[in-house]
C-alpha cells in the first residue's frame, strides 16, 4: 500500500531514411543520466526521466533499462501491471511494444528486433517453466475505436462490448474473450491473427500493413496477460496478476481543416480519450490532499486505465518521440505530458 510513482521512460527513435533524405535536422539529444535536450530556434529545453533511450539503443536495452523485466516479475507476484506507449503517430510506439511485427504479416527475421511484448512473454514462460509450469497464462486483446470497445480475439465479425463497473472489479469489459496459451508460438500467432484478421466473407484477404497502420494510429489497443499461480498452498496463497500492454492512438492534433464526416468523428473521439487521459494525469499529478474528482468516466480509455493510473496498479509509461525538427511541436507536447505523468502515484 505504499505510494509508488509512475515510472516514465523516454525513447527517441532514429531519423527514418525519408527524414534524412529530405534533410530534417535532429533537434533532440540525449545528455545521458536520464536527461534529454531539445534545441531549436526559439525552443530550448531539458527534460528528465527515469531513463532515456536514444537512436542507438537496442530493443533489448529498452527491455532491460526500462524496468520491464521487474514489471513482469511483479505481475507474476500478483500485481496489476501496465505499460503504455504514448506519442505521435510514427514516433515508434508499436515498434517499441512489438518490433516490426506490427507492420508485417510475418514474424520478424531477427530476434534482436523483438519488442517489449515478446520479450515479456519469453520472460513469463521462462519463469513458468522454472516453477514447474505453475503459472496459468491467458490473453485478452481489446481495441477502443471511436469510443467503442471491440474484441480483437473474437473470430467472427467484430462486435462492440459493454464496459461495466462493479464494486469488486472496478471497470471491466463484459464478455471479453480470454485465450489460454502455453508457448511463445501460441501467443505470437494469437497476436498475428488479431493484427491481420481475415475479412468477413469467403475471401480470406488480409488488411494491408498500410491500412492497418492508418487504423492503428486511430485506435487504442490493450493486450492483457492474466497470470494465475496454480499451486496454491498455505505458504503460497493464490495469486492473480495482470500485465497489460497499451498502444495508444497517435497523440497529434488532427487538423480542423481537411477532416470531415467520418474522419472528424474519429478525430474527435481520439482527442476525447487522449484529452481525458491528459486531464486524469494532470489531476492525479497533484498532491493527494489537493486532488478533486478524477474524471475517469470521461472516456472508455480512462475507465479501463483507472486502476493502472490511480488505483492499485504499477505503471510504466514509455513516451516515444521523433528526433526530427519537423516534429518539434508534437515532441514538446509529448515531453510535457510525460513530465507531468512522472508526478502521478499509485498504491500497489
Q: Which residues bind ligand ADP (CB under 6 A)?
A: 13-14, 16, 87, 89-95, 100, 217, 250, 320
* CB-nearer residue toward ligand ADP: 34 or 100: 100
Comparison of 93 and 300: residue with beta carbon closer to Mg ion: 93
- Among the residue ranges 93-101, 115-123, 178-186, 307-315, the one whose residues contact Mg ion (CB under 5 A): 93-101
The count of other CB atoms within 10 Å of the CB of residue 13 is: 23
Residue carrying C-alpha cell 520472460? 123
Smallest distance from the beta carbon of 98 to Mg ion, in angstroms?
9
> What is the smallest separation between the CB atom of 119 and ligand ADP, expressed in angstroms?
14
Q: Which is nearer to ligand ADP, 13 or 150 (CB)?
A: 13
**CB-CB contact of 270 with 245 (8 Å):** no
Alpha-carbon distance 217 to 167, whole Å?
33
Q: How many whole angstroms from its chain centre is CA 188?
A: 17
Nearest to 287 by CA among 345, 337, 338: 345
Tell me if 321 sits within 8 A of 49, measured CB to CB.
Answer: no
Part in contact with Mg ion (CB under 5 A); list of ranges 43-51, 138-146, 213-221, 323-331: 213-221
Q: Which is nearer to ligand ADP, 14 or 78 (CB)?
A: 14
Residue 70, exposed/middle/buried by CB under 10 A (0-12, 13-18, 19+)?
Answer: middle
Residue 94 interacts with Mg ion (CB under 5 A): yes or no: yes
Measured between alpha carbons, how far is 292 from 50 in angstroms, rounded to an integer?
Answer: 27
Least spacing, CB of residue 258 vs Mg ion, in Å: 21
Site pattern 215..254 for Mg ion (x: CB under 5 A):
-x--------------------------------------
* 89 annotated ligand-binding residue: yes
d(C-alpha 223, C-alpha 153), whole Å: 10
Residue 87 interacts, among ligand ADP, Mg ion, none and using kind-specific CB cut-offs from 5 to 8 Å, with: ligand ADP
The answer to whether the annotation marks 311 as part of a ligand binding site is no
- Of 89 and 193, which has the nearer Cβ to ligand ADP? 89
96 binds Mg ion (CB under 5 A): no
Residue with cell 481543416: 257
**Is 242 a known ligand-binding residue?**
no
Name which of Mg ion, ligand ADP, none residue 91 binds, using a CB cut-off of 5 to 8 Å depending on partner kind: ligand ADP
Smallest gap from residue 53 Cβ to ligand ADP (A): 8
Burial group, residue 107, by CB count within 10 angstroms (0-12, 13-18, 19+): middle
- Rounded to whole angstroms, the Cα distance separating 73 from 83 reads 13
Answer for the pair 156, 145: CB distance below 8 angstroms, yes or no.
Answer: no
State how far the Cα of 265 lies from the Cα of 325, in Å rounded to an integer.
Answer: 30
Q: Which does 320 bind (CB under 5 to 8 A by kind): ligand ADP, Mg ion, none?
A: ligand ADP
Taking CB atoms, the residue at the shortest distance from ligand ADP is 92
Q: Report the residue number, 227 or 327, with the smaller CB distance to ligand ADP.
A: 327
Smallest gap from residue 104 Cβ to ligand ADP (A): 10
Q: Which does 333 bind (CB under 5 to 8 A by kind): Mg ion, ligand ADP, none?
A: none
Q: Are 143 and 220 in contact (CB under 8 A)?
A: yes
Which residues, 6+ apart, have CB-to-CB distance to 47 below 8 Å?
Answer: 10, 35, 36, 38, 335, 338, 339
Q: Which residues are annotated as a binding site?
A: 87-94
Q: Which residues are annotated as a binding site for ATP?
A: 87-94
Q: Which residues bind Mg ion (CB under 5 A)?
A: 93-94, 216
Amino acid at each position: 500500500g505504499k505510494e509508488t510513482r509512475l515510472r516514465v521512460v523516454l525513447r527517441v527513435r532514429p531519423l527514418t531514411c525519408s527524414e534524412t533524405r529530405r534533410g530534417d535536422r535532429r533537434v533532440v539529444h540525449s545528455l545521458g543520466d536520464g536527461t534529454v535536450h531539445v534545441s531549436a530556434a526559439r525552443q530550448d529545453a531539458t527534460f528528465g526521466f527515469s531513463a532515456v533511450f536514444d537512436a542507438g539503443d537496442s530493443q533489448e536495452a529498452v527491455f532491460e533499462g526500462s524496468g520491464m523485466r521487474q514489471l513482469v516479475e511483479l505481475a507474476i507476484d500478483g500485481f496489476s501491471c501496465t505499460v503504455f506507449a504514448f506519442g505521435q503517430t510514427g514516433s515508434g510506439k508499436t515498434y517499441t511494444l512489438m518490433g516490426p511485427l506490427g507492420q508485417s504479416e510475418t514474424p520478424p527475421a531477427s530476434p534482436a528486433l523483438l519488442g517489449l511484448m515478446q520479450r515479456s512473454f519469453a520472460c513469463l514462460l521462462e519463469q513458468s517453466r522454472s516453477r514447474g509450469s505453475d503459472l496459468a497464462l491467458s490473453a485478452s486483446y481489446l481495441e477502443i475505436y471511436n469510443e467503442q470497445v471491440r474484441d480483437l480475439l473474437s473470430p467472427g465479425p467484430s462486435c462492440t462490448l459493454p464496459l461495466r463497473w462493479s464494486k469488486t472489479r472496478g471497470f471491466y469489459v463484459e464478455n471479453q474473450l480470454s485465450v489460454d496459451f502455453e508457448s511463445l508460438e501460441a501467443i505470437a500467432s494469437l497476436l498475428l491473427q488479431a493484427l491481420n484478421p481475415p475479412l468477413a466473407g469467403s475471401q480470406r484477404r488480409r488488411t494491408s500493413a498500410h491500412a492497418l497502420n492508418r487504423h492503428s494510429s486511430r485506435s487504442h489497443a490493450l493486450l492483457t496477460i492474466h497470470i494465475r499461480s496454480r499451486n496454491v498452498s498455505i505458504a503460497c496463497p493464490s495469486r492473480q496478476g495482470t500485465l497489460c500492454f497499451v498502444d495508444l492512438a497517435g497523440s497529434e492534433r488532427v487538423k480542423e481543416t481537411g477532416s470531415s464526416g467520418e474522419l472528424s468523428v474519429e478525430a474527435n473521439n481520439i482527442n476525447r480519450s487522449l484529452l481525458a487521459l491528459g486531464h486524469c494525469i494532470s489531476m492525479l499529478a497533484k498532491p493527494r490532499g489537493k486532488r478533486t474528482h478524477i474524471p475517469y468516466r470521461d472516456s472508455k480509455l480512462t475507465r479501463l486505465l483507472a486502476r493502472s493510473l490511480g488505483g492499485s496498479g504499477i505503471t510504466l509509461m514509455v513516451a516515444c518521440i521523433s528526433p526530427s525538427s519537423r516534429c518539434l511541436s508534437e515532441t514538446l507536447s509529448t515531453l510535457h505530458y510525460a513530465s507531468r505523468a512522472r508526478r502521478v502515484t499509485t498504491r500497489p
